[in-house]
Structure 1
């Protein structure tokens, strides 16, 4: 079966995992040399076109479409066993922000997760600008976390009121 799979996928891919499910074998693969920046192996399981699906009895195969695959098998624990959430390293997050010299919206969510604050602590929106974000904050603890975070990164921001911030998404 391994030779058959390699013949289908070719030399430019590497197999991440194979899963036998009923009469099917699913082959999860990625291009050789691919690097997952989030260090979350779950993100490696499905290529952009979905896994290779092989009927074990007939050897018929097809590349599944990613959306169809998740709709049909996304909650299947044989294919996607439950895993503990991977906690990102906070120092690495700060380092990445400094290296790319700007914030992503996700960075603010990671800040809340890092401090175990409710995700609805920040009401974020942007008004006619790709360079700034406005955040209204619920709770003094979230305000303190945000201010400490912004100061650590030497971010440019305006505190419009006690719980309302205008933040430049670029650090310089």
Structure 2
């Protein structure tokens, strides 16, 4: 499961309807298409290797090493493209499921902090009721200096989930959490 964390600006925004979720971002051009020029270069080296008559041992070795290196780059780049396509397809299905059948509930978080650069990396566990069970999903959130403060251990969070989706949306505002604690 993945958690899309939303730090909202006001208390009223926490329980506002989920609204339209953005489509997942596709990876950049180089990440998507590096396999193609690597494959073309591999074919060019192979053709060169076959066209050269009576190559010296050194030239033959360098052509073979170049061919192997280019084939490795092609294989890794193709695997990265394949995994990226799988990830984008799954994320697109999750967004569609949330748009179609999002269900709201309230969950709670555990939090651990680690200072990084210009902020704090928060990590923890999001626990919320889901159908007949209790779901526990790990999450992380980078809170930059000057951003709204992140959740505290045990704070409530508004959670949207959908059947068939591996993504949940969690919204948080410290004022909302304090207000909810006072009511409970």
TM-score > 0.5, shorter chain as reference: no
**What TM-score, normalized to structure 1?**
0.23
Tell me: higher relative CO, structure 1 or 2? Use CA pairs within 8 A at least 6 residues apart: 2
Greater per-residue strand proportion: 2
Greater per-residue helix proportion: 2
**What TM-score, normalized to structure 2?**
0.22
